Structure 1
């Protein structure tokens, strides 16, 4: 059983397992080993407890009666050679050790909480309202403070970190920092990422005094930042007194994990270092009760879905981006294995569905789908969409040829079958697992795909000295991918070129499709690489996007990261050109390798190069993977301004048509 933060684990009846037994989770991509420990107390409700130490993370299930006054010593991890369940060493409960009163501070409590939920790196920009808090974060042994060049990139880095680690955190200062990071927090909200945004706030004595503070718009109102965050976070805590600080911090962090959304915590600048009795004990690890499906609703939904699908001739299944928040990726694969259905993925779900699966047919993206995928999906007489988001971009300007009456839509907690019944309080993971046991095997759609499929051609062979083409670039990037790599795709033509990459088993993949903020990838690459230290990140970034957030290549160097960045220099905002062209889409050209060399400034390991032809590219990749494998490698690819993927040309024209629809008649 694989468990990854944010912590949501199915209820396990203790009667089904031996007393005091360990259930070992397998090692997964970018994740440490997790275990479940079942208490011998079968009379009390089971609660899930998340323990973090500097050595490993562990999940324990413990009775409610003792959860508030004890903590569990970490049992030795004895990995069974055959993967079977074994009995653990005998463990004893130890009393929570009180802090020395001088250590029992708000800052210490917050730092410990971040470590407990799995955050080991916090991305920050210092400001006079958060400096004391930063001192306490630095003092926490399990926490590393990563200083970023600006708040926007700190937020993007926390976003990328959360994609790999399951939760991320950033720290900024009051208002000027908070409003700067806001765009990144909105993006994390759209992508259902648990992100803890902490802002240093005004001195607690200044609230209600009618004073005007710096870093504000000049009004004696300190709530502007809070009001802005209310629309892009699921919980907001303004901590300006110590009496309820413990409760507010704990509620905010646990809400982020439960809702898988960002939260906002403002902490008055004079409070982090003050001891208070509420912080006098080591924080008891969180107990997050698992979400449960309504049993009768689940049974009814499975019954109706099985009837709907079993009468179909050529059903298919398509995975969407909400598979992540529903923790249902494995359940989705189990359903594919059991049903035999052809298996596709929406563009924003790429990386969540294994592309090495024997029935995988590609990316379903309407008119710009991978070869032969759209034909199979849209000709099916029934389709399961698990966790989809149908917006104007993913629907290619609302042009998908799908019919509602043929669709079974499975959202994280709801199932909708065609034009008929809807079932609420049904968790996606539970539904998919139960449905897998009720479906008849039907491989018709995949057989049809296999029958019509013709392998895609390769780019025309050019003289090695001819100007490089983008499709040749991505042919070479494809050869670089392995289970030890991860791809970050920036908004723009990289969306479409990276969609065509075939991901090997274990290869990570991330991009931001719902929010689509250009420049996201620089900060996200920083955060993802900081979390996924076992992978080498390959980032594909356009020149226009890079100009927005380029500074934090500096932070990558400070952190000793070994990312490979392909900077595609085609002189402008190519994706905007294909939607609506104009002189505003042409940007000032930079000497990008010269810029990165200047940022490097002899500190850290960095290697840069420009490539003009395929021969240059081959040599650059060979160097990046060989002699410079321990360096951050920045490869500037000089591309023609009109060299775009055919998918972008098609997609751009359809999105343009959707954007330019005239007003409806009044």
Structure 2
């Protein structure tokens, strides 16, 4: 069974499994180690193993982690919930109790002390799209294949629990060379597709200055290519929602920036909200992406394209119409209309560079990101941690093929350390540049150790501003101040002379320029950790605006009864 599961993971493209050992999964881990196509990556804790599988899935299309029963499962579940919210297929494998213990009144360790082994399963039911409890060899192959195929089809995590005594037992259904894994593609309801395309084309062709806005569900629908082809054909301006950044080529001539309501890229929000029709492809409208529900978008002017549904204005709505099919058909029906692009060119003023600094002036955040912008190319990827890095990284202009990831829907602080580990392990052709705040780093810092064990060469900018700055701008209090660490000393202690690692602290622009030059040159094959010390009130103007609006949304009084 263990060999069969390992080979299935290799077939779907998983060559690294992030794990924490425990007595219930040890025998299964032996088979993952023995599989030539799998590299078992031992992590410092289950939460980071889950975050690493999340980051890996972003780069590779699917990820996997392996933990032990309940104490491991309930530790990794926060990361699995984040992957669920972001639409990422992650296979979460848990070593379960001996198959003979099911149906008995025995009390096992790693449980809450009841003869009921379903607590972990019940928790995972809300954050996975399929749950397989493998405690019988006869249906093991069916449960494993169904779980994996469901993860890939639904683009959501799945849970597979494998009894600890089954991993080494053969069964006739475990062929030495499994039948190649195949998932039949979904196809649209043809009549619904034609009707949706006709109605949308009629709606958009009547508009004077329509725009097109990309959202995060482009990834779930695997429709990035179809989106670009539609944009080329229609000539509309292209904007991207914040959580969709990185899914649309920003070097496209019609790209106008990030649409994020009141904190949009300059001239982008105005173009979108003044349009007489907008085509939203794969959007998520939540309180964060809508800046506290303050978007000036009118439903009657919008076409909303979900992964499997299209809704035009206040109606009609067409189900079982898949995004790629719809975009490919729509591009043939839309008239070219570059009015809004021309309007944008007329009013656009390029963003200014930060004010000239004084000699030895303390480093400012806008200076830091000016230099990070200059580091970007097609062989880099940005990981932006929850916090002010959301806003500063959102303003970076991504060159062709430059990766970009952040976790906006779930917004779990500390996500980026594990995600950097996983993304770098999957995308070996890119150098990851992670922007992490000090508060977030303290949550998950120890898996810097795993990055070193794996020989990764990421560049981590630790932005030390003395606390939870994003929380300060929503609602301040003494709980937002954290204990300052010697962050470079911490990483040096983890390094302990094993592996390639270089750390430095920077306080001025001159020191930053020197650090980036060394990280890009002499230390290009090392993990580089650059601690930047900035003022606690040095934030982006977008965070100030966003924080006040989210605060207002959070503090709305109860409706009258």
Q: Does 1:374 align with 2:269?
A: yes
Within the candidate set 311, 333, 356, 1:416 is matched to 311
The match for 1:547 is 442
Give the RMSD, CA atoms, in angstroms. 0.6
Distance 2:451 2:354 in 1: 33
Q: Alpha-carbon deviation of 1:341?
A: 0.3
The match for 1:199 is 94
The match for 2:537 is 642
The match for 1:116 is 11
Q: Does 1:441 align with 2:342?
A: no
Q: Does 1:310 align with 2:310?
A: no
Within the candidate set 302, 310, 314, 1:407 is matched to 302
- Kept in 2: contact 1:388–1:411 (CA 8 A): yes
Distance 2:530 2:485 in 1: 14
Q: Which digits, 9 at most, give the CA deviation of each residue in 1:48-92, with x for residues without a partner? A: xxxxxxxxxxxxxxxxxxxxxxxxxxxxxxxxxxxxxxxxxxxxx
Q: Which digits, 9 at most, give the CA deviation of each residue in 1:421-479, with x for residues without a partner? A: 00011011111111111111111111111111111111111124110000000000000
Distance 2:105 2:534 in 1: 57
The match for 1:172 is 67
Within the candidate set 31, 40, 48, 1:153 is matched to 48
Structural mapping, 1:86-235, within 5 Å: 106-235=1-130
Q: SS at the partner of 1:607?
A: strand
Q: Which digits, 9 at most, give the CA deviation of each residue in 1:510-565, with x for residues without a partner? A: 00000000000000000000000000000000000000000000000000000000
Structural mapping, 1:440-459, within 5 Å: 440-459=335-354
Q: SS at the partner of 2:72?
A: helix
Distance 2:241 2:130 in 1: 30
Within the candidate set 591, 596, 599, 2:486 is matched to 591
Q: Does 1:342 align with 2:240?
A: no
The match for 1:246 is 141
Structural mapping, 1:1-150, within 5 Å: 106-150=1-45
Q: Alpha-carbon deviation of 1:203?
A: 0.7
The match for 1:611 is 506
Q: Alpha-carbon deviation of 1:287?
A: 2.0
> What's the TM-score, normalizing by structure 2?
1.00
Within the candidate set 333, 357, 361, 2:252 is matched to 357
Q: Which digits, 9 at most, give the CA deviation of each residue in 1:85-120, with x for residues without a partner? A: xxxxxxxxxxxxxxxxxxxxx001001000000000
Q: SS at the partner of 2:110?
A: coil
Distance 1:180 1:420 in 2: 43
In the alignment, structure 1 segments of 5+ residues that lack a partner are 1-105
Larger Rg: 1
Q: Does 1:602 align with 2:483?
A: no
Q: SS at the partner of 2:220?
A: coil
Structural mapping, 1:274-313, within 5 Å: 274-313=169-208
Q: Alpha-carbon deviation of 1:144?
A: 0.2
Distance 1:296 1:589 in 2: 62
Q: SS at the partner of 2:181?
A: coil
> What's the TM-score, normalizing by structure 1?
0.84
Distance 1:253 1:531 in 2: 19
Q: Alpha-carbon deviation of 1:281?
A: 3.4
Within the candidate set 558, 579, 582, 2:453 is matched to 558
Distance 1:243 1:295 in 2: 39
Q: Alpha-carbon deviation of 1:285?
A: 1.2
Q: Does 1:496 align with 2:394?
A: no
Q: SS at the partner of 2:490?
A: helix
- Kept in 2: contact 1:118–1:165 (CA 8 A): yes
Greater Cα offset, 457-466 or 561-570? 457-466
Distance 2:267 2:508 in 1: 31
Q: SS at the partner of 1:652?
A: helix
Within the candidate set 468, 491, 505, 1:573 is matched to 468
The match for 2:415 is 520
Q: SS at the partner of 2:183?
A: coil
Q: SS at the partner of 1:244?
A: helix
Distance 1:287 1:132 in 2: 28
Distance 1:607 1:403 in 2: 51
Q: SS at the partner of 1:344?
A: strand
Distance 1:465 1:629 in 2: 27
Q: Alpha-carbon deviation of 1:256?
A: 0.6
* Higher helix content, 1 or 2: 2
Distance 1:291 1:280 in 2: 28
Please list every run of at least 4 consecutive aligned residues from structure 1 whose deviation after the TM superposition is greater than 6 angstroms: none
Within the candidate set 217, 222, 227, 1:327 is matched to 222
The match for 1:621 is 516
The match for 1:43 is none
- Kept in 2: contact 1:464–1:614 (CA 8 A): no
Distance 2:182 2:255 in 1: 38
- Kept in 2: contact 1:233–1:261 (CA 8 A): yes
- Kept in 2: contact 1:574–1:585 (CA 8 A): yes
Distance 1:110 1:311 in 2: 54
The match for 1:474 is 369
Distance 1:307 1:279 in 2: 54
Distance 2:400 2:343 in 1: 25
Distance 1:154 1:394 in 2: 27
Q: Alpha-carbon deviation of 1:208?
A: 1.3
Distance 1:642 1:230 in 2: 42
The match for 1:269 is 164
